[in-house]
Amino acid sequence: MKFNCLIAQSGGPTAAINSTLAGIYSAACRNASIGKVYGGLNGIEGVINGRVINLGSILSEYGNLFVLKITPSSFLGSCRYKLKSCAENEDDYKKIFDIFDKYNIKYFFYIGGNDSMDTILKLKEYQDKNPHGVMLIGVPKTIDNDLMCVDHTPGFGSAAKYIATTVKEIAYDTAVYNMDSIVVVEIMGRNAGWLTLSAGLARDNSGRTLADLIYIPENPFDYDKLISDIKNVQKEKRQMVIAVSEGIRFSDGKLVAESEQKDAFGHGQLGGAAKTVSEYIKEQLGVKVRAVEINVSQRCAAHCLSLTDINESFKIGEVAVDAAAQGLSGVMVTNNRKEGNEYRLEYSYSDIASIANMEKTVPENYMNVEKNNISQDGLNYLIPLVKGEVKLLHKDGVPMYLNIKDFI
């Protein structure tokens, strides 16, 4: 007897999350034990509300699966719905498993980041007490690269490539004038500075860094040290670029900039670090300073896809189906870098309890001794993840992507 599978996406979108969706769909269609492949619209919130579609009616059409693989953002839509504990709201759990029963779902794949893995953990805990026989599989994605038990997360490589490219372009832009100037670039990263670290990939043809200073949340931010670092750089160049994580904070833990607005998971909305830092620099040094907040454009920049990222994201979707077919549940698919000079990955699975609600931060040795730029170890880690280019389909000079609204 065949059973069906359900796939949903959650959290912030990325440029590679749909490649993972394509990987799951492709592998599920090849698996003899899986019948229909369904998609849940707008994450677990959509599943609760019964918003389920048959993906076969869309992706079986010639060419759509290929286009999906290189389409940015979450094709199925997303949510930031915090699933409460069963004791607080058992109705949500009953609705979810009722949907599983209605569509004969035995395999549930949830593509997402930290909060999404928390959802898988809670569903597993509920099912442990209320057996339904559904294989609950967490599938990683996040540009933040902060999930435990993985070498890196799908979506991060493309975002890192975009950051490095953008910082390089900003550096070339600011270098045209014969005057002292500073550009402060704000990059996403609440508690982990992986994306900001990737600014260190921006190099000129001689290999010299174009991100002159880099500050991440893992290291306490200090204004006196900032000014001292700037003055040291100014001894050799007049125009400079400073990369800061949106989550940089002082030694007492207070963020340099944060709004009071909170999301469903209690996270304060970040933004404004570059502006705050640039105003301080201008006040102290009197030079021309500009603040650039890259913001959401770093999440879904498909025009700057990493081929490595897209291929690995597709592969991790295929591995997720293998995990489910083996009868695994309450796990997340993982990747680990093999030892040796050649970059290679091996895929496995880890218990969701060892991943949910935890964060992987940047190792100390990925920053230099002064904690104001990337180290060679950091470069060695990042470079393989951004390699390779993806050829997009275009119409009238603009990329073509797949849009769920064209099918529902």
Instruction: Indicate the helix (H) or strand (E) that contains 382.
Output: helix 376-382
Residue pair 82/264 in contact by the 8 Å Cβ criterion: yes
100: left (phi over 0), alpha (psi -120 to 50) or beta: alpha
**144 in catalytic set:** yes
Residue pair 252/195 in contact by the 8 Å Cβ criterion: no
CA atoms within 13 A on the CB side of 340: 7
Bridge partners, residue 209, by sequence: 203
Nearest-angstrom CA–CA distance, 10 and 180: 44
Residue pair 68/59 in contact by the 8 Å Cβ criterion: yes
Nearest-angstrom CA–CA distance, 195 and 293: 13
Nearest-angstrom CA–CA distance, 164 and 197: 9
> Which residues, other chains included, contact 248 with Cβ-Cβ below 8 Å and sequence gap of 6+?
215, 216, 217, 221, 255, 256, 273
Q: Which of 92, 115, 118, 144 is catalytic?
A: 144
Strands 288-293 and 181-187, sheet pairing: parallel
Instruction: Indicate the helix (H) or strand (E) that contains 207.
Output: none
Q: How many CB atoms lie within 10 A of CB 65?
A: 19
Nearest-angstrom CA–CA distance, 394 and 386: 22
Please give the positions annotated as active site.
144
